[in-house]
A = this chain, B = another copy of it.
Amino acid sequence: MSQTVDRALSILPLLAQGPADLGQVAERLGVHKSTALRLLRTLHEHGLVHRQQDQRYRLGARLFALAQEAVENLDIREIAHPYLTALNERIGHTVHLAVYEEGEVLYIDKVESRYPVRMYSRIGKPVAITVAAVAKLLLADLPEPERRAVAGKLDYPPYTSRSTPNAAAFLKELATVREQGWATDLGGHEESINCVGAPIRGADGRVVAAMSVSAPNVVVTAEELLSLLPQVRGTADAISREYSGEAPTKEASA
């Protein structure tokens, strides 16, 4: 919509792939060097871009700060965190929290056995959207046209033999998920990893986030993991209730 800003912002994903010098930026942007220079300078003044010793540009610190602030401002994360921790302490396995945004599903929190969350190493990473339990939960709740549109645009990488193969299978799986109110990923992303997840809903009943529990099948079989479903759903429902405005339950500290 705004040419100048559009060009400037296009520089960011370009630099995310790795440092680049002025000429490379100008070329990949399809503009004159002097134009690229002005854009980069502006980005630099705002700290979004950083210039290293060899004068090449890379993404700057303010970007990380912004990303962190943004994730901290997600109130669902704040509310959910104690519940996730409590569940993790009870059952030991890795617990994920994810949201849907603009065609992507992103992890926004993670609690791993004994290890505190490492902000930048995992959170913010886009989920394997065609197979992850949390992705199924979030997409299953989209309005039908959007759901269909998203499913049609996706790639369906065959991570394993049990990965979702195509849009038709995916939509069918989403229908099942929506009906039963929970989802699984049984070796669809990595052969030996199983997940079971449940949706977190706002006051209006719409799914605002999804959580899942993951474990390698050398530790627990898929059946054993499924037996944890009531606890996962219980936690998700407790989060939903608090998010919807009810007083916190004992669930978080149980």
Contact = CB atoms under 8 A, between A and B. Distances in A.
Nearest to A79: B52
Contacts of A99: 61
Nearest to A41: B1
A2 B4 contact: yes
A106 B66 CA distance: 12
A58 B70 contact: yes
Interface string A13-40: 1011111000000000000000000110
A64 B72 CA distance: 12
A67 interface: yes
Contact of A124 (B9, B48, B58, B65): B65
B70 A63 contact: yes
A203 B41 contact: no
Given A54-B82, A59-B70, A245 B145 contact: no
A196 B87 CA distance: 45
B124 A68 contact: yes
A70 B1 CA distance: 26
Task: Count identical subunits in the complex.
Answer: 2
Nearest to A8: B5
Contacts of A224: none
A129 to B, nearest CB: 12
Nearest to A244: B61
A203 B61 CA distance: 8
Contacts of A8: 2, 5, 8-9
A46 B47 CA distance: 18
18 contacts: A1-B45, A8-B9, A9-B42, A13-B69, A17-B69, A18-B75, A50-B102, A53-B248, A58-B73, A59-B70, A60-B101, A60-B245, A64-B70, A65-B106, A65-B125, A67-B124, A68-B125, A114-B145
Given A53-B242, A64-B123, A64-B245, 9 more contacts: A50-B101, A51-B247, A53-B252, A58-B70, A59-B69, A62-B245, A114-B145, A120-B203, A120-B204
